[in-house]
């Protein structure tokens, strides 16, 4: 953990706010959804935060997630939980993507995915607010991050996942201390069981956006991006969208940075990327709707974005529309082709969800939605090492003559 976490943490949280109605809720108390059944957003005294922290002071700190502590909700240093949340790099992919395409490679984070950002913050706040038992549905990577951080914080954890969740995810969740159960259904079916148990007082529900603090961890993607690009933003961001916490969080981060006076009013076009087999946000966007109906029979190779219904659907759609972006759909063949191309041409192994962003960018380029001269950031949300790869069957018998030409 950083030396700069030794002192008590300054925080500028004023209250929480219903994302739909604007109703205020008291800070420093345990909350789930608002009375309207919608996510709560953390609000800060940004004038005071700006007086306490300058951009120049920020650049002198270690480049990890906790450098942003004045814009994060944890009040007491003792409640911070960390496994080394590094700033993730921006990697050019000139062959597979183009000269101005950068991949923010979130696979470098603890437990190998960007879920670490949201769950480290949510778990730290759970510890601060006295939670002792957590349950959560997952498609894989979120459960792994929760298991790791909750175990480190001494919080009992139960994780439910669809029965076709990748084996590596199920095993890492179990290995890192959670009780993990496979469910014969999709993630929202798992979520219904978690919700029922929470209603009975068995645990606190950590489902996506059903507690307020995962957004605060995920918004650090936007804070980092601005700092890495010299306090400007790219022309477009392609984000793999299931629950959409990161897209919502980045949009919040950009607003807070502008109010601090650290960036201007210009925003990237936000592209919410979904798979053809599960695209409720795309369907709602194209229909001009504010909310997205459940997607039936969801199926895609990109399990992380196989979310039939998102509780923050209207926040995703709002950010996409306000930015001048779109919700885009790509098929599994294009996703797998993008993963293969990026690995073979640029040496960067994307996860399927990251491949979806590259596939969507390529389609947007063909459609004239983006220009090849525009700076674009794609989010690779997890290390590709967690996912199945094609066989590599070639072998040599050292006892026989070696055909070096064939090599």
The pLDDT tens digits for 69-99 are 999 999 999 999 999 999 999 999 999 999 8
**CB atoms < 10 A from the CB of 407, how many?**
7
Taking residues 235-257, report their average pLDDT.
Answer: 97
Partners of 236 in the beta sheet? Answer: 269, 376
Our CA dihedral for 178, 182, 187, 192, rounded to 10 degrees, sits at -80
Taking residues 219-224, report their average pLDDT.
Answer: 98
Model pLDDT, residue 90: 98
Q: What is the pTM of this model?
A: 0.93
Mean model confidence pLDDT for the chain: 95
Model pLDDT, residue 7: 45
Residue in 263, 257, 233, 215 with CA at minimum distance from that of residue 46: 257
- Whether pLDDT at 5 is above 80: no
The pLDDT tens digits for 126-144 are 999 999 999 999 999 999 9
The pLDDT tens digits for 303-355 are 999 999 999 999 999 999 999 999 999 999 999 999 999 999 999 999 999 99
Model pLDDT, residue 122: 97
Portion of the chain with pLDDT greater than 70, in percent: 98
Model pLDDT, residue 78: 92
Model pLDDT, residue 9: 60
Taking residues 214-233, report their average pLDDT.
Answer: 97
The pLDDT tens digits for 382-394 are 999 999 899 999 9
Q: For 154, which DSSP code?
A: T
Q: For 278, which DSSP code?
A: B
Model pLDDT, residue 6: 41
Portion of the chain with pLDDT greater than 90, in percent: 95
Structure tokens at 310: 């998102």
Taking residues 248-257, report their average pLDDT.
Answer: 98
Taking residues 171-182, report their average pLDDT.
Answer: 97
Confidence grade of residue 11 (pLDDT, cut at 50, 70, 90) = confident
Using alpha carbons only, how large is the chain's radius of gyration in Å? 21
Domains for the chain: give ranges and CATH numbers: 3-79 (no CATH), 90-113+213-386 (3.40.50.1100), 115-205 (3.40.50.1100)
User: Across 333-405, where does the E strand assignment appear?
Assistant: 376-380
Q: Cα(382)–Cα(348) distance, rounded to whole angstroms? A: 12
* Phi, psi angle pair for 78, to nearest 5°: -60, -20
Q: Cα(47)–Cα(362) distance, rounded to whole angstroms? A: 41
Taking residues 266-286, report their average pLDDT.
Answer: 98
């Amino acid at each position: 953990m950083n030396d700069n976490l030794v002192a008590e943490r300054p925080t500028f949280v004023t209250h929480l706010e219903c994302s739909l109605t604007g109703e205020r809720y008291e800070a420093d108390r345990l909350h789930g959804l608002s009375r309207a059944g919608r996510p709560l957003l953390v609000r800060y005294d940004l004038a005071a935060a700006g007086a306490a922290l300058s951009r120049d002071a920020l650049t002198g700190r270690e480049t990890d997630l906790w450098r942003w502590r004045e814009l994060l909700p944890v009040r007491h240093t003792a409640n911070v939980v960390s496994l080394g949340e590094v700033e993730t790099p921006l990697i050019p992919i000139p062959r597979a993507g183009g000269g101005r395409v950068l991949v923010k490679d979130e696979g470098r984070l603890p437990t190998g995915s960007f879920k670490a950002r949201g769950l480290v913050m949510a778990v730290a706040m759970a510890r601060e607010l006295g939670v002792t038992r957590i349950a959560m549905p997952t498609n894989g990577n979120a459960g792994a991050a929760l298991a790791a951080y909750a175990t480190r914080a001494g919080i009992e954890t139960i994780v439910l996942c669809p029965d076709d969740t990748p084996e590596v995810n199920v095993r890492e969740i179990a290995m890192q201390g959670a009780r993990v159960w496979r469910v014969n259904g999709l993630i929202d079916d798992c979520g219904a069981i978690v919700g029922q148990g929470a209603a009975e007082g068995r645990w606190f529900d950590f489902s996506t956006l059903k507690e307020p603090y995962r957004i605060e961890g995920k918004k650090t993607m936007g804070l980092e991006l601005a700092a890495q690009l010299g306090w400007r933003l790219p022309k477009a961001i392609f984000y793999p969208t299931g629950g959409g916490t990161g897209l919502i969080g980045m949009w919040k981060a950009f607003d807070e940075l502008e109010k601090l006076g650290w960036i201007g009013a210009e925003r990237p076009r936000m592209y919410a990327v979904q798979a053809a087999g599960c695209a409720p946000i795309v369907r709602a966007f194209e229909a001009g709707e504010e909310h997205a109906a459940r997607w039936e029979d969801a199926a895609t190779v990109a399990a992380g974005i196989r979310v039939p219904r998102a509780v923050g659907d209207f926040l995703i759609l709002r950010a996409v529309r306000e930015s001048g972006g779109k919700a885009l759909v790509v098929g599994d063949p294009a996703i797998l082709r993008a993963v293969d191309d990026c690995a073979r041409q640029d040496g960067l192994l994307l996860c399927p969800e990251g491949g979806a962003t590259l596939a969507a960018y390529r389609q947007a380029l063909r459609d004239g939605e983006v220009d090849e001269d525009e700076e674009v950031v794609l989010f690779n949300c997890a290390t590709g090492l967690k996912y199945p790869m094609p066989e590599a069957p070639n072998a040599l018998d050292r006892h026989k003559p070696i055909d070096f030409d064939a090599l």
